[in-house]
């Protein structure tokens, strides 16, 4: 049996035989379609195109980078009080920690530097497939970042996790969010 032929122009290792030939014009047309779709998505997130509620939430989460503009942190879920648009927490989720946990720690540091956003809790939710959070000693770098630079992480796993004040199994997540909501 011979190996299928692959070409780097076909992202994702698609077999050339199952793919129709594409020339530069086809590739450019495809590229413009993608850019057009991204532009439409960006238009939807402009403040004037958002409902008042979501526009207020967006403004309450923006991070000011001075002359480089204001940007939203890379998070997956925003937890907020709908009546006041007060953001309680942001949640990042990823199957493995790798660089994402450092990004989450970075956003926590950036949020804590501004009076408007310093109260926002930053949580990380993961199945922790690499078991980076499983043990306290020896502590892996990802666990150290969670313990120091985030407000906590919740692990969705059947494997044993040595819990701490910041590393908990996922079944405690909803109760902790409920407590956070009642305290705010």
| Tens digits of residue pLDDT in 13-70 | 444 454 455 566 666 677 677 766 666 665 566 666 667 888 888 889 999 999 999 9
Write down the pLDDT at residue 41: 62
Q: Which residue has the higher pLDDT, 165 or 15?
A: 165
Ramachandran quadrant class, 128 (left: phi over 0; alpha: psi -120 to 50; beta: rest): left
Residue 148 to residue 138: CA distance in whole angstroms: 16
User: Which of 63, 142, 144, 165 has its CA nearest to residue 110?
Assistant: 63
- Per-residue pLDDT band at 141 (split at 50, 70, 90): very high
| Domains in the chain: ranges and CATH | 73-183 (3.40.91.80)
| Tens digits of residue pLDDT in 69-127 | 999 999 999 999 888 889 999 999 988 777 789 999 999 999 999 999 999 999 999 99
| CA dist list (Å): 91 to 121, 123, 159 | 8, 5, 22
């Amino acid at each position: 049996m011979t190996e299928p032929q692959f070409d780097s122009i076909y992202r994702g290792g698609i077999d050339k035989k199952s793919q129709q030939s594409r020339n530069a014009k086809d590739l450019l047309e495809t590229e413009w379609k993608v850019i057009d779709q991204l532009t439409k998505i960006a238009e939807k997130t402009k403040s004037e195109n958002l409902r008042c509620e979501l526009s207020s939430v967006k403004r309450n989460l923006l991070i000011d980078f001075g002359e480089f503009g204001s940007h939203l942190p890379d998070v997956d879920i925003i937890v907020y009080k709908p009546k006041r648009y007060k953001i309680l927490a942001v949640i990042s989720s990823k199957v493995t920690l790798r660089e994402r946990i450092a990004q989450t720690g970075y956003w926590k540091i950036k949020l804590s530097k501004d009076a408007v956003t310093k109260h926002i809790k930053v949580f990380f939710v993961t199945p922790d497939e690499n078991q980076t959070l499983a043990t306290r000693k020896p502590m892996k770098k990802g666990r150290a970042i969670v313990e120091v630079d985030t407000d906590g992480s919740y692990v969705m796993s059947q494997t044993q996790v040595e819990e701490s004040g910041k590393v908990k199994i996922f079944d405690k997540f909803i109760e902790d969010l409920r407590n956070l909501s009642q305290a705010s």
